[in-house]
Chain A
Amino acid sequence: MNNYHLKFSMMKRYLVIIMLLLAIDPIGILAQERVTVSGVVTDESNLSIPGATILSGNPLKSISSTNNNGEFRVSVEDNATLVFRFIGFIEKRVTLKRGQTTLTVRMAEDVNEMEAVVVRGYVTRSKELSTGSSYSISGDRVQDVPVANIEQLLQGKVPGLNIQVNTGAPGFRGSTSIRGLSSLSITGQGSSSFLQPTSPLYVIDGVPMDADQASEFGFQQQGPGVSPVSMIPQEDIESIEILKDAQATSLYGSRAAYGVIIITTKRGNSEVPRIRYTQNTFMQRPPKLRETLGGNLERRLKIKQILENALTDEEIRRISSTPFLSDSLNAFFNNSTNWQDVFYRTTYNQTHNLAIDGGDPKFNYKANLNYYSEKGVIRNTGFDRYNLTMRMEYQPNEKFKIVGSVFGGIGKQNKGEGVGLFQTGVANNGMASTLLPGPSFFQSSGGVVAALETDNQNSARDIRTNVEASYMFIPGLRASTNLSYDFNSDTEDTFTPAAANGQFAKVYSFNGRNDRLYNRSAITYAKTFNEDHNLFINTFNEVYIESRQHSMTRQERTPNDQFQGPLGFDAYYSRGGGIHQNFRDFRSASYAAAASYDYKKKYVVDLSYRLDGTSGSGIDNPYSKNPAVGLRWNFHHEKFLEKFDWLDYGAFRLSWGMNINPNSSLVDIYGQYNINGRYNGGQGIGIDFNLIPNPTLKPTTTTQYNFGFDIGLFNGLANLNYDTYYKSVENMIIDRYLSNVSGFNVLKSNDASIVNYGHELALTFNPIRQGDFTWQLSFNGAINNDVLTKLPDEYNGQMIRWDGDQNYLQHTVFRVGTNTLSNFLRINEGVYSTDADVPVDPVTGLPYLTGGRFFEAGDPIFKDLNGDYVLDSRDYQITGNSQPKFVGGIATNVGYKNFRLDVYMSYTAKRTILNNALADRLKLMRDPFGDRAVVPLDDLDMWMAPGDVAKYPYAYDFTRFDNIQPFRADQTLWQEDGSYLKLNSVTLSYMFDKRLARLVGLNSIRVHLSAENLHTFSRYTGPNPENVTSMGRDASGGYPVPRKYNIGLNIEF
């Protein structure tokens, strides 16, 4: 383990050191026979520990601390006992032998969780006293695998945090949710149906940040779409804490309704300036692509398919009039082009990070320079990041402290022709016939040129500054203020060359800015009464002023490919433009207060309350309210248990909290007035008749109960955290469609509710902790059940969201009493083995039919739900659940001397996926005369001849595709179990011996090899059960998640 990536907050460390320093009795003890002892303090992997406190004497007094290299020199009595202390490590006592003057101390890491500190309401608190449910991850767990977005590395590491890396698009985010579903809002159609993201609130070094910012338009986003989370360099992360229940999140207010993720970055901690450099070189490979039949094989298969299945002579004669099939000697049609190779590639990338830090508890600083570059596995896509983080902290005395930091970053993204998450152009052209000649600028389809030659440049520039000052008026009473300003500028420029756009070049330009001024002022008061009663009060207020403006211009036809801008305005070919709808001018003010009381650290009571007022929710009821109560019983402090050595700690936690959030907008409450209609020479302004104002809109109320149990056993051998929760989201906003008598279309009402309940478990074993060989094994898992409990009355308990995409028709149904998001599909019951198996209507004597054609052998058996012997739009049934029920992960960390092996796995189970990729692949067979590729279907259990009992219908009979639609997307044939176990990452690292490092003038050298997304174990027949949309649709146009192999180097000067 790298000791510089310490697990715990540095701030706390300083506080402890300061307190210890203050504890020094000014009157020294009489020195007797004194010796000078020097030595070094290291951790188990021989990394030095700077700043460790050395104590001696009776009573113990701090006499010195280790320097930057972990070395110390003390003058003590002969054969004195020295005590070494350092936060996060087990205290070590060494009694000097007579005459001993050198000493090497190896300290063991303390895995007792109760010593850890957590952040609550922007204040650090002892974890032992926290009543809410949270989970901490140290920064060193998110190193060694270079990623653009650190969320990816949290996957499977936190119980109850469901992260799905569902896109491989560089710089984009997957989906993240804590404790199940909180939204019913779906955007998009067909394969591109997306659930509205409900991401947790991110708090970076005490400054809140909205991670959904870039994706608020749903997936079809405009602008660069660089997620703010992608702008955080992983090397700079000290620790991450995930707050889950309402007690933990209550002080963060209404924005924390979906949980909170707190990221603390590194602090300066070295008297001598220290320079650390990390470099990663990684290779990204696309996953296994679709198999395709090339060249003559394709032609022969197509001709065979026509000959065997044609119904008329006309169709057979059509072969000769299709030169593409009949003229095999024509050079234009005589190719075997691997189209997928044209678009997909293996890439080599680099990241560099330089961190400089220095200082002491009084004054310290750090600077972190980061460069990350990732070329996408789809050509013409990629993400580059440059950033610089600087921070300084000055604390001249115990009373006063000031911290300043600056973060600057540029994220550059290239989305190619697609919209990032989807690369439909690539997917479509990747299915082109292999017989066509390969691409060149002048000889290929417009789609290919569009995918490869579209010049797309996005950049997100972000600068964030933060100043924090605090002052202690009287002991225990501290006032602090934090001021932060964040400015974002997003631009996107896309130039489409003439060859890709019907012989006319096209220009699109997007320009946006967001800014946020944030201030928080807090007063905290800590007091101990009669030694046993501890009281802590924390009050603060928060103010946000936010604004945003996005605009764009689009010029449809520009002069030529050489002239890309600047362009004037053309009245005829200018499209769109102007300011976007999402203009924002927003303010919020919040007040929060929390009181925590404990008796001998044994019984803890937490009370907190927060009010949030926003400018968006109207003057009448602008406040959202967040009350919470938490109780904790640390039973290891009880007398009757103290005698059990094997019990490190043990606690029960119980919490309740509410988040009452007026999530309506001024438009929802008062209606919107637009300029519309002219009469009698005047201009009218009237209400917008789409949305009826609803002045009685109630706030969405989330109530959450949490019961937790923490226990540590056998001196760190095993730790267990268990939480169970019940979360009820009431008064969710849902659109009700109105009778035309009201004149309006839609009423935003509060008549939907869901309940999530589940269990979370995290287990850590440290079977071998001391010595050359160490081993840690951890496991976590979460079960979440969501149930829809209410819908507006007129739906009678069931609401169907009809899919408007005629190619998919994969409807979603909301039914009260069942899981919230179910599919509404035709039920596939296999394939008709023979014609005789097709049922016949006893009344009419006609066989089961659809689209005017009778079913035959080889056709799919669609359940005739209404029993009328006709398959039509009434034959749909509720089935499946697109949301996963179980998520979790497994990790093992093995160390042997200077070697270390970390393996992380994650799993998701019980989830329904719609394999649209397979449906699309089989649909390639619909037109053998067309210019699409064909794929081998030998691997599928397909009906081939009467009598076959098969899973998949006969694909070669192209004449049946129009009426029967055997491969229609709206059937349960594509519904598959999306459970998987994924080998997220494997890292092998080696720390060179310190002496060796010194020889080349370095402090330490470490190399590591890592691999990410190595393998996914799954029964799913598609390429990747994770690479699907949040609605469980495996879109063939999605961006594949690449496999990554990395070599990295960490050196310290």
Chain B
Amino acid sequence: MKKKRLITVIFLMTMIGVGLSACSDFLNVVPKDRLTGNNFYKDKNDVEANLVSIYSKFFEKINQTHVIGSIGEYRSGEVMASEQHFRYNQEGRMVEALGRNDLLDAINNGAWRDHYHLWDITNWTGYFQVIQGTNILIEKLEEGIPNLTDAETRRYIAEATFIRCFTYFWMVRLYGDVPYYTNAYQSDPLGREPMVEVINKCIEDMKSRMNDLPWTYTDPSLKGARGSRGSAVALLMHMNMWNAGFDGGNRTQHYTETAELGQALINSQAYRLLPLEQWELVVKGKSDESLFEFFRSINYGDNVNLIAPIANNFLRWPYKNPRYDHQVSLTYYTTEYMTKIFPENDADQRKETIDNNGWFGDVYGGGVYSGDGEFLLAKFAHNIPDAGNENINPDNTFLIFRYSDAILLRAEALAELGRDQEASEMVNMVRNRAKATPYSGPGGDHLKDYIYLERCRELIGEGHRYFDLIRTGRIMNSQWARRTLNRDQYNRRAWTWPIDRSALNNNPKMTLNEYWETIGN
């Protein structure tokens, strides 16, 4: 009797044991109707899809409104609206409000506020979504994703790190001090950190991962469109140059680092400057000259906001339709400015019309010095899709870092370090491509100014100019900017954008940009 009972008890205990162990499999239900964090990140495709989502999140911010021009080109006042354009008083004069650095007017003036909704630039939520996205992806990659080799894992971590650092860099240029974090699922409120520290952290972060990236991609569909070591180097050079301007004590170190990074980039031979005859390939995107860009194409069915590309404001018929609306360009660079950066006596193919593979004007006029509604920034007038009479912009990429940009940054760093000879060589690399008279002037300040002007020439319309003015402090000198900031305004960060007040919600540690909160002048 006792034995039987014992057997029964053992039998039953075994049953329960079997049941318990089978349980975790039984409970693991893969939801069919949704993807959750525990059934995503299962293989390389998931990582790729997630990266695509992160890139597109950033792109949304650029695509929200006329971002590149507003943040990088107009704020020192060299761009004016053409009075002949029928939208002069609406869309046109917004650039002039930006040119006065009157951001509150640029954002809120009833004549254009709903057309441009520039307040989107002041809201950083989207950028922080990119940062959360990269932080989560990095955490998942560090935990380990099945079916991924070590090299792939490291490469993806590095690529995500690039996006994260790039986003911080972009935000610093827009808002100055920003909150900084790298942990996934950050939910506690954070205050803003000094921008120099944020950039220094990003430099460290990027340097530690940089070498896991390939110099460039052999797959032509990824070239330039996705973060590579070339992109990371360009970003590091930019971040060093930014801090060199704001962190006087360490400027030499930053210049040295920039110069070394530039050297490595050139030595890699992964990139080259294309002849201007092939300029349309560069603006189309994914060229050998592209270090990083946000690539979009009509062929991919991408929905690019009409007002987002800078070309939208500087093109006219026949590069923009319908003709009756686009007899003239909406805005133009003033003759005074163009004369300053492109001296009339210097030979330079970039000054030519589009038919001569130049960047300004066409057979109908609107050349480099036209300074009126005829003005045509032919640099972005390539790759026009056949859209009938529809108002569509040329099918160009959003260039962020270009090889010549990096070369000129290196030139600038070398010049600052007193290595004038090497600096001149760098400048002339860019000038030679443009078939322009090589620089042969003296070193020192003259060379530095020349390099600055070369950046203005080479990168016109690419959203670098205003930030160059800020980081070099040239914005305070009327020689370089039509609308200057005085020292006090500069110190109070008049060059930033206001921060949307929603940042204060649920965040006791948050402060806004004081300059814009105290009437903005």
Contact = CB atoms under 8 A, between A and B. Distances in A.
Given A619-B28, A742-B186, A685 B23 contact: no
A591 B123 CA distance: 51
Contacts of B24: 613, 619, 622
Interface stretch (A349-357, A692-700, A905-913): A692-700
Contacts of B34: 667, 672-673
Given A615-B29, A687-B136, A739 B36 contact: no
Interface stretch (A184-192, A273-281, A578-586): A578-586
Nearest to B225: A680
B40 to A, nearest CB: 5
Contacts of A585: 29, 31-33
B49 A685 contact: yes
Given A695-B185, A741-B190, A682 B48 contact: yes
Given A622-B24, A680-B221, 14 more contacts: A474-B8, A477-B8, A619-B28, A619-B38, A678-B302, A685-B35, A693-B37, A740-B123, A740-B128, A740-B500, A742-B187, A743-B130, A744-B129, A794-B506
Nearest to A477: B8
Given A541-B19, A680-B295, A583 B503 contact: no
Given A692-B185, A694-B185, A741 B507 contact: yes
Contact of A686 (B133, B297, B505): B133
Nearest to B500: A740
B26 interface: yes
B33 A737 contact: no
B55 A680 contact: yes
10 contacts: A587-B27, A589-B27, A671-B136, A676-B56, A679-B52, A684-B55, A685-B49, A686-B53, A686-B133, A741-B179
Nearest to A549: B33
Nearest to B502: A740
Contacts of A474: 1, 4-5, 8
A739 B505 contact: yes
B128 A477 contact: no
A434 interface: no
B132 interface: yes
B337 interface: no
Q: Which of B185, B188, B222 has the most CB of A within 10 A?
A: B185
A915 B500 CA distance: 41
Contact of A591 (B16, B48, B54): B16
A474 B3 CA distance: 12
A332 interface: no
A280 B369 CA distance: 98
A589 B26 contact: yes
Nearest to A584: B33
Contacts, number: 199
Interface string B30-73: 01111111101000001011111111110110000000000000
A739 B16 contact: no
Contacts of B185: 692-695
B124 A672 contact: no
Nearest to B126: A743
A916 interface: no
Interface string B371-396: 00000000000000000000000000
Contact of A737 (B126, B131, B506): B506
B123 A679 contact: no
B10 interface: no
A595 interface: no
A523 B129 CA distance: 53
Interface string B490-521: 00000000001011011110100000000000
Contacts of A684: 49-56
B20 interface: yes
Contacts of B431: none
Contact of A473 (B8, B33, B222): B8
Given A671-B37, A679-B52, A680-B295, A479 B12 contact: yes
A679 B56 contact: yes
A666 B39 CA distance: 10
Contacts of B324: none
A741 B8 contact: no
Contacts of B51: 684
Contact of A743 (B33, B52, B131): B131
Contacts of A695: 185
A586 B29 contact: yes
A545 to B, nearest CB: 9
Nearest to B129: A743
A614 interface: yes
- From A543, A613, A619, A740, residue with most partner B Cβ within 10 Å: A740
A494 B221 CA distance: 52
Nearest to A586: B29
Contacts of B12: 479, 523
Contacts of A591: 16, 19-20
Kindly list the 4 A-B residue pairs having the minimum CB-CB distance in the complex, ordered from nearest. A670-B37, A686-B53, A684-B53, A677-B56
A588 interface: yes
B33 A739 contact: no
B27 A622 contact: yes
A428 to B, nearest CB: 36
Interface residues of B, number: 72
Nearest to A617: B27
A666 B510 contact: no
A684 B508 CA distance: 34
Interface string B78-112: 00000000000000000000000000000000000
A539 interface: yes
Report which residue of A622, A670, A737 has the largest number of chain B beta carbons within 10 angstroms of its beta carbon: A670
B125 interface: yes
A996 interface: no
A685 B52 CA distance: 7
Given A587-B27, A667-B36, A739 B503 contact: yes
Interface string B281-301: 000000000000011010011
Interface in B122-145: 123-126, 128-133, 136
Contacts of A10: none
Interface in A627-671: 666-667, 669-671
Nearest to B128: A743
Contacts of A680: 52, 55, 221-222, 225-226, 295, 300
A568 interface: no
B189 interface: yes
A121 to B, nearest CB: 16
Given A613-B23, A666-B31, A695-B185, A678 B56 contact: yes
Contact of B59 (A615, A676, A679, A694): A679
B40 A673 contact: yes
A307 interface: no
Given A684-B52, A741-B510, A666 B132 contact: no
A591 B507 CA distance: 45
Contacts of B188: 742
Given A666-B36, A672-B36, A747-B187, A677 B503 contact: no
B27 A737 contact: no
A770 interface: no
B128 A583 contact: no
Contact of A742 (B19, B55, B128): B128
B249 to A, nearest CB: 29
Contacts of A679: 52-53, 55-56, 59, 225, 294-295
Interface string A725-760: 000000000001111111110010000000000000
Nearest to B192: A741
B187 A738 contact: yes
B35 A672 contact: yes
A585 B26 CA distance: 12
A440 to B, nearest CB: 47
A677 B53 contact: yes
Contact of A685 (B1, B29, B40, B221): B40
A587 B130 CA distance: 35
B23 A589 contact: yes
Contacts of B225: 679-680
